[in-house]
Amino acid sequence: MNFVHTVLVFSLTSLAVVAVTQQAESQAPSERPTGTKIVLLGTGTPVPDPDRSGPATAIVVGDTAYLVDFGPGVVRRAESAALNRKIPAVEPGNLKVAFVTHLHSDHTSGYSDLILGGWTSGRTVPLEVYGPTGLQSMTEHILQAYRVDIETRTNPDGPMRDAGRFPDGWKVNAHEIKPGVIYKDEKVTVTAFATKHAMESYGYRFDTPDRTIVISGDTNPVEATVNACNGCDVLIHEAQPLELVAKLPKSIQSFVAKYHTTTEQLAELAKKAKPKLLVIYHTISFPPGIAPPRLLPPKGSADALYASPEMLEKEIGSRYSGKFVIGRDLDVY
């Protein structure tokens, strides 16, 4: 571990401050905000849905992007957003600050690509990452796993040996957090609040010059989310459809009941939180042909566990009269 200990900068932070209508349609390019933007880089779950990458959301303020979660596919989705949505702030080399809600693999398996892909794409400063206990260990082990890669890219024959251009781009400052203000610069203040999942987990509130945005991560309904939003501009929250959950094995139903939020529960939470826009993401769904046979109900068809947008719209819309959308990868709000 000597290699890691000599190159990885650790930072412990507790309360540290560092210097439609109801239709699920994404905004057309002409309707996208000109100030702070939300870019959904990934809206998926552990299900290997080719249309939904792992959870990753970029809050873009001017020319700076702040990433929340880094699920599988995050770097390629970021490049796609930069090219196809004309948002250069999310170019992989420009991703310099990230927050993680919790350490489940579907929210973190793109971490190594964020570190190394961002570096090889041009990031010249250490990546700053904030999240729960265990983040430092995860970071240390990723860098150790790729020690040979880093050494061969930076040795005298390596393609990244030009220290003038890439002196610190592969390094990481990992900050383990507690609830409170955890990050602040001239463009944004980020406040973490505890949520209820199967491990230590946090939601985040972003206060920018023109918007207040709250993202839940994976969680059972908690009052902290309501308090963090409290009329916020945008609330990004997970939701699990009742119709689909009822078809899943009892063990999964129990897990959802303890650690996730159903559409019914989200409707009630949103009534209290009163966001101007509710963005629904991270919804379990198995498109036709993807569901493992062991999960399919007896005599169930190939699409028996598919949660269509119409299903979500009905379950939310019948219980909540506010504006909401069903988020899709590369949507911009």
Digit-coded pLDDT (tens) for 31-87: 445 699 999 999 999 999 999 999 999 999 999 999 999 999 999 999 999 999 999
What pLDDT, on a 0 to 100 scale, did the predictor assign at position 154?
Answer: 86
Per the CB < 8 A criterion, the answer to whether 59 and 68 are in contact is yes
What pLDDT, on a 0 to 100 scale, did the predictor assign at position 300?
Answer: 76
CA distance 170 to 148: 13
β partners of residue 326:
280
Digit-coded pLDDT (tens) for 230-243: 999 999 999 999 99
**Extended strands (E) in 185-251:** 189-194, 202-207, 212-215, 234-238
β partners of residue 212:
207
Q: Domain spanning 2-326: which CATH class is it, in words?
A: alpha beta
**What contacts 50, CB < 8 A, 6 or more positions away?**
none
CA distance 57 to 61: 13
114, containing H or E segment = helix 111-120
CA distance 270 to 135: 30
| Reported pTM | 0.90
CA distance 256 to 64: 35
DSSP codes joined into one string, 295-313: GSPTT--TTTT---HHHHH
- Pick from 45, 73, 40: nearest CA to 285: 45
CA distance 246 to 4: 47
